[in-house]
Amino acid sequence: MKKNFVTRFQYLLLGSILLSYSPLVAKEPIPIEKPDQVILITAERFTFTPSKIKVKKGSLVEIVLRSEDTDHGFRLESANIDKIIPPAGKGRLRIQFRAKRTGRYPFECSRPCGAGHNLMRGEIIVE
């Protein structure tokens, strides 16, 4: 029982350490705050358009993703985000994060969507 408690406590501690070191912090559920910047991204085999996104340090960023074909994924590891973009005509994916630190943060498709799936990536540049 005691051992179990320690393990859980350590797990929580590790989680909060990891969160505080994340350069981009995911915000859920959406919408909770009015974002400073809203960016629309279109996903289609095998690109994100635009694929390079510039945001300001400190801003609350909302990204709205829609697909032009099949379902895709949006993984932004630096904010612990990995979500499904629904197929064309079935809605959009909205995510929010706070850009805490300057840098370049890659994102990628996380749903196998065909031959060029591994090429389907982009970058968020916080400046």
109 touches Cu ion (CB under 5 A): yes
Q: How many residues bind Cu ion (CB under 5 A)?
A: 4
81 is an interface residue for Cu ion by CB under 5 A: no
CB nearer Cu ion, residue 101 or residue 117:
117
Cα-based torsion angle of the residue sequence 15, 110, 68, 26 in order, rounded to the nearest 10 degrees? 10
Distance CA 23, CA 61 (A): 13
Identify the CA nearest to 48 among candidates 120, 115, 123.
120
Residue closer to Cu ion (CB basis): 63 or 120: 120
| Selected range binding Cu ion among 1-9, 34-42, 82-90, 101-109, rule: CB under 5 A | 101-109
Residues in Cβ contact with 57 at an 8 Å cutoff, skipping those fewer than 6 apart: 99, 100, 101, 102, 126, 127
Q: Which stretch binds Cu ion (CB under 5 A): 24-32, 53-61, 80-88, 115-123?
A: 115-123
Binding flag, residue 99, Cu ion (CB under 5 A): no
User: What is the bridge-based pairing of β-strands 81-85 and 121-126?
Assistant: unpaired
Contacts to Cu ion by CB under 5 A = 109, 113, 117, 120
